[in-house]
Structure 1
Amino acid sequence: MKFFGKSSQHTTALDRVKLYKDFYEFRKTVLHGFPANPTCIAFDKHHRLLAIGTKNGSLQIYGKLGVEFHYQFEDELEIVQIFFISRLGAVLCLCDDFSIHLLKIPSKSSHNDISKLYTNDFFVREDDNDHATIITSLALNGKENLLFIGLKNGDIRLLDIDDSLKLKDDIIRLDEILKSIPEEMKLKPGSVEVIEEQPGIDGKILIGYNRSLIALWDYQNNSIDNYFHIEQHLEHLSWNKNGSDFISCHNDGSYNIWSAKQEHHDCKNFKLPYGPFPCKAIKKIFWNSSSCGEYIVFNGGMPRASYSDKETVSIIHNVQKENSSANERNVVLDFTSKVVDFLPIFSAMENDDLKLQALIVLAVEEIVVIDLQASRLAAYCFDVKTDIYNRISESGDAESNVKYSPNIWPIDGGIAAISGSGLSINESHHLLITGHEDGTVRFWDASTKSLKYLYTIHTSKLFNVNEDDNILIENEDHDLSGDDEDQSEWPPFRKVGQFDPYSDDPRLAIRKLTFCSEQGILVIGGTAGQMIVFEFRDKAAEFSPNSIEIRIIDEKDSFVWKGHSCLPIRKSNIKLPSGFQPTSLVQIHPPAAVTALVISTCWQVVSIGTAHGFALFDYSKNLRLIVKSTLKPSNISSAMGGDALISRRKSFKKSLRESFRRLRRSRSQKSKRNIQKNQQSMAKIQETNSRLNKFPDLIEPIKPVERAIEVIAKTNEDMMSSMVRFFYFCSSPIINNQPCPSFWVGTNAGTLLIYVLINDKNASNATTRCWQLAKEVQLKHKAPIIFIRLIDSNGAPLFENIPSQLVDNEKPMPSRILICSEEQFKTFSLPNFKTINKFKLTAHEGARVRKIDIGKFYHKQNTNLSEYSLMFLTNLGDVNIFSSWSDFKRKYQHHFLKKEDIHGISSLVFTNTGEGFYLKSSSEYQRFSLSARRAGHLECHIKLEETETTVSNDTATNIISSNISIDDKNTSPISPAKNQNGVSSIDQNGTISAGSDPELTS
């Protein structure tokens, strides 16, 4: 019977594990944001796809929204160059170890994985001095079956793409080319800088060497057609589409137009667009002529003395009008981060003439698409359409129509498919709000697997910061669309992009956000203790900034704040367009960063917490309801900020001296004889000193002993037990069995303060609402309280903001409260506050909780089956799922973050649907799912024509999952710009913590 009992228990455990698999499964779904450290870019004009390679070996391929592919190279090899092989539906990549890889993009809906087909390791070098294996340039022929590989020794090798990336025996040798050049021009041409196939003519390539030589070579007949001599170092070449002329750019900032059949071989028509003084090198140039005019686009070329720090792309447009001279228009796009590369995008016209449609510019921190068809240059932005957030969308569209082009997004290739129910569009719509270091707040539609930009709020307009920035903000910052007639500066710079490398004032940074989706009220908390309440208004208005001061620490407490000062309020009135408009502005003193922030629209209050205490504020009447300091006398020195956070330790000399003194002192206590000897020696020393005092010149001055300054290594959270960590509003039985509005406060020292509203029944007639402290609970283990939730018997979280008059007193009120600290989970009964159950995580496993929430999980096949569970992430990087209150049993565990990945752990957030986000890089969020139902396979592919050559996936050597994002067409899947600023974010139902690193919630 005993054995039978064990078998039964084992079978039950197996059944439980099998059941858990139907509810819980970890899967990475989609990657949001701009790729970190981009190195190269390519565009597939046939499939309309854009590829971006990064320094850590990540390849991102984007089409229309819903089409996104991802591939990660082993050993995180840097991707140097990318080519699309359109006829194969493949991508060719060169890595920094000179290995060449052919990757297959899925062409069937049943296969959504990028697969590696072939790899060529011939040029992977062991000797860095072997110039015959160092690749300096690549070029693809028009038929996409040959890859020209330029080498450092001047030779060119040919790679057969159709024959498993095998090298051909044919070699275009530099010696053969030099045989057809006169002796006086046979200088050392150097490495192959660029290779360009001549348009419309098969078998001829233009070879540009680093020094002195450009050759037009017929590789089919192994003969030279023409050669050109240059004095400057060559940077790049570009053919005009007619194939008869080409343009070269050089390291002195000049460019020259050549005819392929010209008889003279020297450079005679060079132009220095921003001379005559020395200029920076033009790194890349593009030339195109059509019925719409002539475009010359190049990167660099700025005067060294004045603009050597500028990162620019110049666009020179010449329009030849009938019966008039040519009209030249010059625009210099000024970027705030380094320009990596740029590419043109063409659109076909009725006469099969290619028309230049747009220009893609890839910078280190952002990607910008310039519309070249508009009468005035503008950056692309996609339309935002959503049913629930129409008012926000309309305000955002009004801004977009001024700043961005109305034309459709040109990167619109690929086909998006959906596998699994409820994965393309969520049943409920979600709003993502992000706060940034420069004081901006951005709204995004997170209802789908992609993010759509909606709206921006500039909080810096309320403060006296840089006036130039305020002027730009108020004028919508549309410098790019300015009229040419107003140009007074040369070169004519136009600011482009959204990335701002400098934050004028770090106090503007947004630290906390909370939003009520039902009433459209947004509350933000900043680094300098500022709290602003925004309400959505349909009409424009004028706002006069006037702050309400709340002093958490009494002046009588001899507290001196040594940190930063508050932000100065702007004195003049501000004209606000329709949208989110400020209604209340509160300044906390001392002006420490906001550490906790929650709004309760039911009782029209906002709670604000800092490292010194908290306040409860009635935003409808601008009244202070509660102001309480949580500081203790022992915390005052560490809470002052500034110099108070510095400790002093004794110098090594003094510490060593005192050690010897203690040693002598301990020995002297053992015998009286030693004491007498010491006294005699001391008497002799004193006698000697008295004699020396008569001759002060013989005495060397003794420097006073100083203590070396050492900054405390602890963080503010570990050092300050007074810091407020969590707020919570709910209707619960606190004083007796009758529910009443309650306000819960959790601190860093494990202290729980509970306030109740004592006159809620007559609140509508009362001039003020009185909140009274009902209970104060101290957790024995004194760990920081990071989560509080009222739950029912099934562990489901209850509605929080319910007025007591709406609660049915005849029905029994659930009397369980879940309180989680970084070390323990506890369930208490109310109102007597007795422990029902608890789990000591740190004591059992040595881990501490960093992020926690309750999620609802559905059975992956039966939607009628669901359960609530507790999700949390530990400092070790593993995510756990526990039962929410009954027994705290572990249901699921998965380790996916390194414990050294502090940014990823601190930025991770959960959603109430069992999903989550964490910071993969400074600009990318990885989205993942813990729900088996929401972990379905996302699919996207491209369509290959029947006449196109296909490559079998059977030869794939490495397969990874592709990431896609489903959304409306003509919308960009790429965020218009990366923002390096600190981000905080929330969902439509609650508040999420923020810090110096971005955070995300939906």
Structure 2
Amino acid sequence: MRRFLRPGHDPARERLKRDLFQFNKTVEHGFPHQPSALGYSPSLHILAIGTRSGAVKLYGAPGVEFMGLHRENNAVMQIRFLPGQCQLVTLLDDNSLHLWSLKVKGGVSELQEEESFTLRGPPGAAPSATQITVVLPHSSQELLYLGTESGNVFVVQLPGFRVLEDQAISSDAVLQWLPEEARHRRVFEMVEALQEHPRDPNQILIGYSRGLVVIWDLHSSRVRYHFLSSQQLENVSWQRDGRLIVTCHSDGSHCQWPVSSDAQQPEPLCSSVPYGPFPCKAITKIFWLTTRQGLPFTIFQGGMPRASYGDRHCISVVHNGQQTAFDFTSRVIDFTVLAEADPAAAFDDPYALVVLAEEELVVIDLQTAGWPPVQPPYLASLHCSAITCSHHVSNIPLKLWERVIAAGSQQNAHFSSMEWPIDGGTSLALPPPQRDLLLTGRALPTGTRMAQYGSGMPRASACGCCTNSAQCRCSSLMQTPMRTSTPRESTSGPHSARWAPLTPTVTIPGWASRRFSCANTVATWLWRAPQGRCWCWS
């Protein structure tokens, strides 16, 4: 080893250092690091996740996984699948667009980057003139509509990324079709939403941040309908039949607007603040989905009261008189709803909610009472807490393997029985010749107290007032939670929190602490006790 300590430059030594100490990435497993974007293809049943390092990962049925890496080390801001094709478009934070394709090579599919493009403005134009905020792939499979910070909408032809300047929708062109009272208001700014009409591909919806929403006719190049709100616009959802538009706003409200030729400027059918009347956070995204039973699903992100829950990361689901807030322990990157893929279907009939957070991917069953989470077959959140040691065990005997599987099944009783809904593709991998285990040890969170309970299982008081949960008066194994908020049930995914008013809280033996740590947990509960908010998981 003394040869590595000699001063000066030695080519032989440098070569040996590279051979002995170079780090080579051999395989990636688990939840991607620093996710930044989410996309889903209803026709392919494939989920796409983009990261801040420029990686694009596609997931389908268990065992179906693709990965692509941009040449630029920039964050992926948006992912959009082209309708009915094995292609997707990614938008990076440097304002560049990239076209990816799934192609068959050697009998297997590969994810390859086909083209890249950066939208350029005229010489001397401000950077905001071409800064892309929204990407809309048209159902014609040949056009991309790009909303920008300047309020203009550019049209790009695929696959060559050729800009069609004669089809661009400028804010001045929209302004001339608005009534006189709307022209005097600052109704424009950046484009917040772009959506195609569910039934008519010749109409697109354009939502501006100042509250203006217009339906633009592509054939006649004119505004057919416009809707003007007094609040800042965040996002838009278009009902499947095209007769209703639901907008969400910065004050925590959402409004329903009828699309009818009877009035060019209709008033909203209704406007509500779900968690009012006190000031609420913005609702940043909303879905309005119809069902065969006649009662729609309203799913939105945010809107929580600023004073009490301003620091929470919540997605709310409202249906048939039930309102549930899913509270996540890390920031929600994006979410989507899996529904009927056939555009000719009369109803959406949503069946699953997919939520991408910074530390986990949660899928919630919307067809089962209570809306339980679905156990994910991949994307395990290995890095959700600090790993202090690890050990690889190879060639596990079959009997031991079956016992491990059975023990895991007993802990997963709270999961939904639904099959994994993201099932695109077919895995061509052969069955593994042997069974291996990776065991990880993790540090307990600060302030954890342990005690013996029951048959020797580690157990502690969730609120930390004593070392034995059986003696704790404020958080026992069976108790009625103390809550002062409205009677609303709130549940979440595997690493998140759940509380239910006026019902007993039942936990199973496991670790407990005052400080939350999602150490590869399978279930989590959160309730209010007389001494404050408590966490408990198992």
TM-score by length of 2: 0.74
Cα distance per residue 1:353-401 (max 9 Å; x no partner): 54211000111111100100101111101589x9542222222112212
Deviation at 1:257, TM superposition (A): 0.4
Matches within 5 A, 1:623-638: none
CA contact (8 A) 2:327 2:496 kept: no
**Partner residue, 1:48:** 45
Identity %: 30
**Partner residue, 1:365:** 359
Deviation at 1:220, TM superposition (A): 1.9
Matches within 5 A, 1:374-393: 374-381=368-375, 387-388=398-399, 389-393=401-405
Matches within 5 A, 1:678-757: none
Deviation at 1:123, TM superposition (A): 3.9
Matches within 5 A, 1:278-677: 278-292=279-293, 293-318=295-320, 328-347=321-340, 353-381=347-375, 387-388=398-399, 389-401=401-413, 403-418=414-429, 424-438=430-444, 461-462=458-459, 466-467=463-464, 489-490=485-486, 492=488, 494-499=490-495
Change (3 A) 1:255 1:470: farther
**Partner residue, 2:19:** none
Matches within 5 A, 1:821-860: none
**Partner residue, 1:91:** 88
**Counterpart AA for 2:252:** G
Cα distance per residue 1:719-767 (max 9 Å; x no partner): xxxxxxxxxxxxxxxxxxxxxxxxxxxxxxxxxxxxxxxxxxxxxxxxx
Question: 2 CA distance for matches of 1:213 and 1:383?
Answer: 43
Deviation at 1:176, TM superposition (A): 1.2
Deviation at 1:160, TM superposition (A): 1.2
Question: 1 CA distance for matches of 2:88 and 2:372?
Answer: 30
**Partner residue, 1:61:** 58
1:394 match: secondary structure: helix
Matches within 5 A, 1:182-331: 182-186=179-183, 187-188=185-186, 189-261=188-260, 263=263, 264-267=265-268, 269-292=270-293, 293-318=295-320, 328-331=321-324
Cα distance per residue 1:106-139 (max 9 Å; x no partner): 3355354321111112349998943221112121
Question: 1 CA distance for matches of 2:268 and 2:99?
Answer: 39
Deviation at 1:415, TM superposition (A): 2.0
Cα distance per residue 1:80-107 (max 9 Å; x no partner): 1001125331111011111101011133
Change (3 A) 1:346 1:976: farther
1:309 match: secondary structure: coil
**Counterpart AA for 1:356:** P
1:432 match: secondary structure: strand
Change (3 A) 1:139 1:464: same
RMSD: 3.8
Deviation at 1:486, TM superposition (A): 11
CA contact (8 A) 2:289 2:349 kept: no
Question: 2 CA distance for matches of 1:101 and 1:383?
Answer: 29
The number of residues matched between the two structures is 445
CA contact (8 A) 2:240 2:346 kept: no
Change (3 A) 1:575 1:66: closer
Question: 1 CA distance for matches of 2:85 and 2:341?
Answer: 22
**Counterpart AA for 1:284:** K
Deviation at 1:425, TM superposition (A): 3.9
**Counterpart AA for 1:305:** A
**Counterpart AA for 1:62:** Y
Deviation at 1:39, TM superposition (A): 1.1
CA contact (8 A) 1:338 1:363 kept: yes
**Partner residue, 1:100:** 97
2:339 match: secondary structure: strand
Cα distance per residue 1:643-701 (max 9 Å; x no partner): xxxxxxxxxxxxxxxxxxxxxxxxxxxxxxxxxxxxxxxxxxxxxxxxxxxxxxxxxxx
2:135 match: secondary structure: strand
Deviation at 1:434, TM superposition (A): 1.8
2:44 match: secondary structure: coil
Deviation at 1:342, TM superposition (A): 0.8
Structure 2 residue 144 is matched with structure 1 residue 151: no
Change (3 A) 1:120 1:158: same
Question: 2 CA distance for matches of 1:465 and 1:343?
Answer: 34
**Partner residue, 1:79:** 76
Question: 1 CA distance for matches of 2:268 and 2:426?
Answer: 49
CA contact (8 A) 1:366 1:978 kept: no
CA contact (8 A) 2:284 2:300 kept: yes
* Structure 2 segments unaligned to the other structure (5+ residues): 1-22, 379-396, 446-454, 498-506, 512-517, 525-538
Change (3 A) 1:105 1:157: same
Cα distance per residue 1:292-342 (max 9 Å; x no partner): 431000000011111111110000002xxxxxxxxx110000111111111
**Partner residue, 2:17:** none
**Counterpart AA for 1:110:** G
Larger Rg: 1
**Partner residue, 2:388:** none
1:31 match: secondary structure: coil
1:461 match: secondary structure: strand
Question: 2 CA distance for matches of 1:415 and 1:575?
Answer: 37
Change (3 A) 1:148 1:576: closer
Deviation at 1:175, TM superposition (A): 0.8
Cα distance per residue 1:246-269 (max 9 Å; x no partner): 100000000000111162444462
Deviation at 1:145, TM superposition (A): 2.3
**Partner residue, 1:38:** 35
Deviation at 1:978, TM superposition (A): 13
* Structure 1 segments unaligned to the other structure (5+ residues): 1-25, 319-327, 419-423, 440-457, 502-573, 582-922, 924-974, 980-1002
Q: Of the two structures, which has the highest relative contact order with CA contacts closer than 8 Å and spacing of 6 or more? A: 1
2:307 match: secondary structure: helix
CA contact (8 A) 1:228 1:265 kept: yes
TM-score by length of 1: 0.41
Question: 1 CA distance for matches of 2:521 and 2:64?
Answer: 17
Question: 2 CA distance for matches of 1:437 and 1:59?
Answer: 31
**Counterpart AA for 1:113:** E
Change (3 A) 1:208 1:977: farther
Deviation at 1:225, TM superposition (A): 0.7
Cα distance per residue 1:171-193 (max 9 Å; x no partner): 11111111111222112221111
**Counterpart AA for 2:301:** N
1:417 match: secondary structure: coil
Question: 1 CA distance for matches of 2:339 and 2:191?
Answer: 28
Change (3 A) 1:224 1:500: closer
1:395 match: secondary structure: helix
Question: 2 CA distance for matches of 1:576 and 1:429?
Answer: 28
